[in-house]
Structures are given as C-alpha cells and as structure tokens.
Amino acid sequence: MSNLWSEMAMLLQPLWTFVLGHAPLLRSPFFPLLFSLSVYLSFCLPFLLLDTLSTRWAWVLRYKLQPQSSISWSSVRRCLALTLYNHLVFIFPLTVLHWYLRRVHLPEEAPPLPRLLAQVLVCLLLFDFQSFTWHLLHHRVPWLYRTFHKVHHTYTSTSALTAEYSGAWETLSLGLFAAANPLLLGCHPLTELAFFVVNIWLSVEDHCGYDLPWATHRLVPLGLYGGARHHDLHHLKSKCNFAPYFTHWDRLAGTLQTQD
C-alpha cells in the first residue's frame, strides 16, 4: 500500500519540481496578488470574447442565459476598476502581513494525487457551506444587504467580470474562507494552489452568463451542482440559489430554484 501511495505521489512530482523552480516567486509577498489576478483575468477572457461574438453570431447568442442583455465596455471598465482597487488596497496589505507572520514552506515532495483531489473537493465543500451561510445571512438581514452585499447585485445579468464586482467586506470575507480552508486541512502548497485555481474558475463560470454544453453543472450528475444557470437565477430574482456551487444546501433550506 505504501508503494502505491509513493507511486501516486510521483505522478505530481514533475509538476511540483517545476513549481519549485520558481521558489523565489512563490515566497514573494507579491505572489498571492499576481497569482489571483492573473488566474482570474485569464479565466474571464474567453467569456469576454463570447460576449463580443454574441452580438454578431447567433450560434453564440443561443447559449446566453439572458440573450436580451449585452455587455457594455463601460461595465467592463467598472468591474475591472473595482477588482483592481480591492486587490491593491485591501488584499495586498493583508497578504504582506500574512507573508511576514507565516513564511512560505515548500516541501521537496509532491502530495499523492488522491490526497490532492480529495482535499480540493473538501475545500470546495467547506467554501460552499461558508459562502451559503454568509450569502443567506446577507440577504435575510436588510442592513447587511444594503451595507455590504448590494454592490454585487448591481448587475442582474451576470457576466464573467461580475464575479468579483463586490465591496471590500465581501471580497475579504470570501477570500478569508478560501484562504483558511487549506490551512485548516493542512494541505500541501500544490493542493492549495489547485484549490485556488478551481475555486476561481468555478466562480467565474458561475457568473459567465452562458449555459455552455461543457459547463460544470452538465458534467456533475443528479443535479448536485448548480452552475451558471443556477447563479444567474439568483442575480435575476435575488431570493433563491444562495450556494455558489452545489445545490444541497439550497435544497435543505427550501431556496433552490432550477428554472424561471
């Protein structure tokens, strides 16, 4: 059994060795900011391209969840400006503080692939529960909604860049959940990076505004995952679908809605 575990670890060793080759960057206080922004904007770009093509090609428009809506360049600039502002003014100082208090530890060995996959899934499930609770509370308490969460609902028609269109409190709260979960589980740094990449992708896909044939909710069986259609309904109606990814918490709370 130990030999099999070692072989599983070796599957990720070349990737981790490549990552370790950039250890000075990983240990830099600038890395979390650069990593978060570059991954987020890279994931947004394909959907921005679809937004541009949807005004010209009908075959793209048919996948749009709200085909009557269109994305303006002024809204793109507003979303980008707020995202950059939150990252530079609020997130960056906190990452520098975290870097100062907790130096980055980079082990030589990669984690076994099954452990990485299992811990990424557990991190996602934890984040889903934390976000559901936070989100539901901020909708049920009017003061919290008006003061903190209303900014995120500026746009009733979602697009990729609206994923991080939120105030400082919301950005920092959800960022804290995402950062804390791998630490609580004692995850390997590669597992932590994998979770961040998956989490950012799912958040962007949730807000992309398209129900594409290869979307995550079409790959996960039994309606266990909500996806873009699920979250678009939340932005449209505001009283349903509070969990960011999975559907079980909304089912239990009676807040799940699967169609208009």
Which residue in this structure is represented by tokens 């349903």?
Answer: 240
* Residue 67 reports pLDDT greater than 70: yes
Dihedral sign computed on CA atoms, order 139, 88, 125, 241:
positive
Which residue in this structure is represented by tokens 């996959």?
Answer: 117
Which residue in this structure is represented by tokens 């932005």?
Answer: 235
Q: What percent of the chain is modeled with pLDDT above 90?
A: 80
Q: What percent of the chain is modeled with pLDDT above 70?
A: 96
Separation of CA 38 from chain center: 13
Arithmetic mean of pLDDT, 150-173: 93
Tens-digit pLDDT profile for residues 224-251: 999 999 999 999 888 999 999 999 999 9
Dihedral sign computed on CA atoms, order 187, 191, 197, 200:
negative
Helices (DSSP H) in the chain: which residue ranges?
2-20, 23-26, 31-54, 58-61, 73-86, 92-101, 113-140, 142-144, 168-185, 189-207, 216-219, 227-237, 248-253
Report the candidate in 18, 99, 48, 38 with the shortest Cα–Cα distance to residue 210: 48
* Residue 48 reports pLDDT greater than 80: yes
CA atoms within 13 A on the CB side of 167: 12
Provide the whole-model pTM: 0.94
Average pLDDT over all residues of the chain: 92
Instruction: With H, G, I as helix, E, B as strand and everything else as coil, classify residue 225.
Output: strand
* Residue 35 reports pLDDT greater than 60: yes
Task: Name the amino acid, one letter, at 13.
Answer: Q
* Residue 213 reports pLDDT greater than 70: yes
Burial of 202 (0-12, 13-18, 19+ CB in 10 A): buried
What confidence score (pLDDT) does residue 4 get?
59
Task: State how far the alpha carbon of 142 is from the alpha carbons of 95, 181, 254, in Å.
Answer: 31, 28, 20
Task: State how far the alpha carbon of 224 is from the alpha carbons of 72, 138, 230, 242, in Å.
Answer: 33, 24, 11, 14
* Residue 2 reports pLDDT greater than 80: no
